[in-house]
Chain A
Amino acid sequence: MIDFILARYNYWIVIILMLTGLYIVYSRGNLVKTVIGLNVFQTSVFIFYITLGKVVGGTAPILLGAHSAGHGGPSARGATGGDHGDGHGADGHDTGGHGEDHAADPHQAASSHEAPVHADVQHGTPLTEEEALEVLSGQMSNSLEPNAAGDVSGQSDVPAESLHDFSEIDASNSLTPQMPDTHEPAPVDPGITITPGGHETAADQQAVLDAGHEAMTHAAEVVYSNPLPHVLILTAIVVGVATTAVGLALAVRIREAYGTIEEDALERMDNEAATGSPTGEGGKA
C-alpha cells in the first residue's frame, strides 16, 4: 500500500495542488488571493503534463551526438543558434549526464524534434517496461512514472490488481507518444527534417540530412522523454501568465473604481447599485 502511494507521488502532488488551488479560488474573498489560487490550480496541470512526458531513465528530449555534426555543417549557423544550443546542452548535462554532446546547431535542434520521438518509439517501450517492472519490484529510485495511462487507472483501482496489470497496459497503449503507428526504422524523412528551417540551399540540406542520420544512429541508443507534453505545457504556461496578468490588471482597476478588492465589500456595493439594498433582492438582513 505504502509502495503504491509512494510510487505515484507525483500524481499525489498534482491532485493535492489541484484541490488546494480550487479551494483557494472558492474560499478566499480577496481578488489577488483568488488569482493566486488560480495559479496554484494551473501549476498542478503543468506538473501533470510534465509527468505524462517523463520516461524513466529518459533524458531531456534533445538530440545527443549532435556536437560533431553541428560543427561539420557548412555554414556558421551554429553561431546564431549558440544560445539555443547551449541551453539545451546544459539540459543534457543535468538530466542525462551525456554532457559531452552539445546541440550547437539550431537545425540540429530542429531535427531533434523528430529524432527523440522515434527513439521512443523504437526503444522506449521495451526499456521502460523493464524499468516499470523494476519500480514495481520495489526499486523506487525516485524516478517519475513512465506511463500515465496505466498509472492513473492504477490509482483508482485496487492496488494489487493495478500493480498486476500495470505492465500490461504499459505495453499495450503507452509510451508511443504521438506516432505509435509508424514503426519504420528510417524516420529521417527529408521533408520533416528540412521543413522547420525552410530556406536552406541544397548543400545545406544534404549536410543537415547527413548530420541527421549520424545523430539518429546515435540517438537510437538513448532514451528520451516525450517532448510533446513539454511543448504543450509551455503553451499553457504562456496562457497562464496572460491570465494572471489580465486578472491582476482587473484587480487594480477594481481597486481604483471601488476602493477595495475584498469580494464581500464588492458584492455589497454591487447589490446596492442594483437593488438599493446591501443584501440584494430577497436577501436576509
Chain B
Amino acid sequence: MNIIEQLPVLPVVLPLVAAPICVLLPKGNLPWAFATFISVLTFILSLMLLREVHAVGVIEYQLGNWPSPYGIIYRIDMVSALIITLVSGIAATVFPYAKQSVAREIAHQQTSFFYGMMLITFAGLLGVVATGDAFNVFVFLEISSLSTYTLVAMGARQDRRALTAAFTYLVLGTIGATFFVIGLGLLYAATGTLNMIDLHERLVGMDNKVVRAGFAFIITGFGLKLAMFPLHRWLPDAYTFAPSAVTSFLAATATKVAVYVMLRFVFTVFGFSFVFLDVALTFFIILGLAGMFIASLVAVFRDDVKQMLAYSSVAQIGYMLVGISFATVEGVSAALVHVFNHALMKAALFMAVGAVFYAIGSHRISAFRGLGKTMPFTAACFVVAGLSLVGVPFTGGFVSKYLLIDGAFSAVLDVPSLVIVLMIVASSLLAVAYIGRVVYEMYLAEPVEGVKVDRVPLGMLIPLGFMTAANVYAGLDAEGLTTYARRAADILLGVGMAE
C-alpha cells in the first residue's frame, strides 16, 4: 500500500482510530503522550498532503473504491489542504500545551476520556474539510460537535456554568445541524445527488423554490455553527467556561472549519450561476459588519478576559463574512488569510489566558494586574498576539486586514467600500480598547500583594511562545500564505464561474 495514495484519508482516519485506543489507555500522562504523538503525526501527514496538492492540483480519494458520484469521495484541493494543515498545526501545538493545563483543570480519572474526546473532535473537523460528499459533512460535523459539547462541559470542575453553557451549545448546535440536513434533503430532492461537484453541475441554471429553500436552510444552519453575528449566543459562554486547552483548540479551529464549509457551499456547490446567491452575500455583508462592530463593543465591557476574547471571536467571524461577501478573488483570499491568522492569534491569546489561569486560578481581568512583572513571558506573548488581533504592522492581523481593505476597494458592492473600510477601522479601534484594558492592567497597574503566582511549566510556555512567534512570522513573511490563499480563492471562485 502506497502511503501517498492513501494520503487524503489518513489525517481523518488516524485520529479517529486513535481516539478509542486513547480512552483505553491508563489514566495519567500516557493518554496525553499518545494524543500528542497522533496530533504531530497528523500534522506531518497534512503537510505532505499540502505539498502533494501543491504539486498535483486536486486529489480525489474514493472510499472503498466506489466511483465518484455514487460513493463517498474525499476531495482535497488547495482550500481544503490549507484548512487541514491549519487545523492539524493548531492541534499539534495545543496538545503539548494541554498536559499541565489539563492536569490542573480536569479530574485525574477523566484524562483518558478527555484526550479521547479531543482526538474525536480533531478527526471530525478534519473529516468535514476533507470530504467531497455533502451528507458526509453533516456526519463529521456532528462527530466533532458532540465531542465538543462534552469537552465544554468538562470545564464544570472549575465553574459549574460550563454545564449550562454546554447545554445551550448542544441545543443550538443541534438545531443548526438539523437545519443543514433539511437543506440537504431539499437539494437532494431537486438534484438526486449528494456529491458536491455533482450537486454543482446539476444546480447550474436551476432556480426554483426547493433549491432556494435548501440554500436558506444550509446557510442558516452553518450560520449557527460558525456563530454568525445574531446566531452567536452559544459561543461566548462555551468558550469562557471550557477548559483552557479546549478553548484554545476550538477558538482556532471549530468556527474556521464552519467558515470553510460555508465557502464550499456558497461558491463550490451553488456558485455564481445561482441567482439567489446575491441575497445571501448581501446578508453576509450586513451581518458581518454588524457583528464586527457590536461584538467588539460588547467585548470592551467584559470583565472576564476569556469572555472578552470569545466576543472578539464573534467579531472576527464578521471580518471573514465580509471578505466572503465581496465574492471576488481578493475578498475570498483575504477571508482565508484571516481564517489562518485569526486561528493563530486566538490560539496564542487563549493559551496565554490559560497560563494565567494556571498561575493564578482566575481569568478575570483583575487577575491580570501587574502580570508584566510577575509573569513577563506570558504577558509579552499576550501583548504580541493582542497586537496581531488589533492589526498592527509586522503581525499576521495586519496582513489580513490590509488584504480585506484592499479587497473592499476593488469590489463592486451594495454598501460603499468606504463604509466597509471605516467599519473595519472602527472595529479595530474597539479591539485596541479591549486589548488595551488588559495590557493596562498587566503593565501599568501594580501587582496585587499576597497573590500566589505559581510558576507556569515550560510545557505550556513553549507552545505559547511558538504560537506567538507564528503570529509575528505570519506578519513578516506573508508572501507564502497569501499566494496559497489566492490560489485557493481562485479554485473556489473558478468552479463557480466555469459555467
Report Cα–Cα, A19/B183, bound state, in Å: 16
Report Cα–Cα, A57/B161, bound state, in Å: 54
* Residues A48 and B185 in contact in the complex (CB < 8 Å), given A250-B163, A258-B160: yes
Q: A226 to chain B: closest CB distance in Å?
A: 9
What chain B residues lie within 8 Å of A41 (beta carbons)? 175, 178
A179 and B146 contact, CB distance less than 8 A: no
A167 at the interface (CB under 8 A from B): no
* Residues A52 and B160 in contact in the complex (CB < 8 Å), given A41-B178, A45-B178: no
Report Cα–Cα, A63/B174, bound state, in Å: 35
B182 at the interface (CB under 8 A from A): yes
* Residues A195 and B175 in contact in the complex (CB < 8 Å), given A152-B210, A257-B156: no
State which residues 157-189 of B face A: CB under 8 Å: 159-161, 163-164, 166-167, 170-171, 174-175, 177-178, 181-182, 185-186, 188-189
From the candidates A52, A178, A236, A251, name the one contacting B69 in the complex (CB within 8 A): A178
B249 at the interface (CB under 8 A from A): no
A266 and B142 contact, CB distance less than 8 A: no
B193 at the interface (CB under 8 A from A): yes
From the candidates A174, A175, A250, name the one contacting B170 in the complex (CB within 8 A): A250
* Residues A149 and B163 in contact in the complex (CB < 8 Å), given A178-B70, A250-B170: no
What chain A residues lie within 8 Å of B192 (beta carbons)? 173-178, 180
Residue in B closest to A173 when the chains form the complex, CB atoms:
B190
From the candidates A49, A176, A257, A274, name the one contacting B160 in the complex (CB within 8 A): A257
What chain A residues lie within 8 Å of B191 (beta carbons)? 173
- Stretch of A84-92, A131-139, A215-223, A240-248 that contacts chain B: A240-248
From the candidates B69, B135, B209, name the one contacting A156 in the complex (CB within 8 A): B209
What chain A residues lie within 8 Å of B142 (beta carbons)? 239, 242-243
B163 and A253 contact, CB distance less than 8 A: yes
Report Cα–Cα, A157/B186, bound state, in Å: 16
From the candidates A153, A178, A191, A239, name the one contacting B193 in the complex (CB within 8 A): A178
Residue in B closest to A169 when the chains form the complex, CB atoms:
B208
B261 at the interface (CB under 8 A from A): no
What chain A residues lie within 8 Å of B213 (beta carbons)? 152
What chain A residues lie within 8 Å of B149 (beta carbons)? 246, 250
Report Cα–Cα, A41/B221, bound state, in Å: 14
Q: B246 to chain A: closest CB distance in Å?
A: 15
* Residues A254 and B163 in contact in the complex (CB < 8 Å), given A38-B174, A236-B181: yes
* Residues A246 and B178 in contact in the complex (CB < 8 Å), given A152-B210, A178-B69, A178-B193: no
What chain A residues lie within 8 Å of B190 (beta carbons)? 149, 173
What chain A residues lie within 8 Å of B175 (beta carbons)? 22, 25, 38, 41
Residue in B closest to A192 when the chains form the complex, CB atoms:
B66
From the candidates B161, B171, B182, name the one contacting A45 in the complex (CB within 8 A): B182
B194 at the interface (CB under 8 A from A): yes
* Residues A152 and B167 in contact in the complex (CB < 8 Å), given A42-B178, A45-B178, A178-B70: no
Report Cα–Cα, A179/B71, bound state, in Å: 11
A273 at the interface (CB under 8 A from B): yes
A76 at the interface (CB under 8 A from B): no
From the candidates B153, B186, B206, name the one contacting A253 in the complex (CB within 8 A): B153
Report Cα–Cα, A47/B239, bound state, in Å: 35
Pull 25 A–B residue pairs with CB atoms less than 8 Å apart, ordered by A. A38-B171, A45-B181, A48-B185, A152-B189, A152-B210, A157-B209, A174-B192, A179-B69, A179-B70, A181-B69, A195-B64, A232-B194, A235-B139, A243-B170, A243-B174, A246-B149, A246-B150, A250-B149, A251-B167, A253-B163, A254-B160, A254-B164, A254-B167, A257-B156, A270-B164
A: which residues have CB within 8 A of B? Answer: 18, 22, 25, 31, 34, 38, 41-42, 45, 48-49, 52, 147-149, 151-153, 156-157, 173-181, 191-192, 195, 228-229, 232, 235-236, 239, 242-243, 246-247, 250-251, 253-254, 257-258, 266, 270, 273-274
B: which residues have CB within 8 A of A? Answer: 64-66, 69-70, 135, 138-139, 142, 146, 149-150, 153, 156, 159-161, 163-164, 166-167, 170-171, 174-175, 177-178, 181-182, 185-186, 188-194, 206, 208-210, 213
Seed contacts A38-B171, A148-B210, A250-B153; 11 additional CB < 8 Å A-B pairs: A25-B175, A38-B175, A42-B178, A228-B188, A229-B185, A243-B142, A246-B150, A247-B170, A247-B174, A253-B163, A258-B160
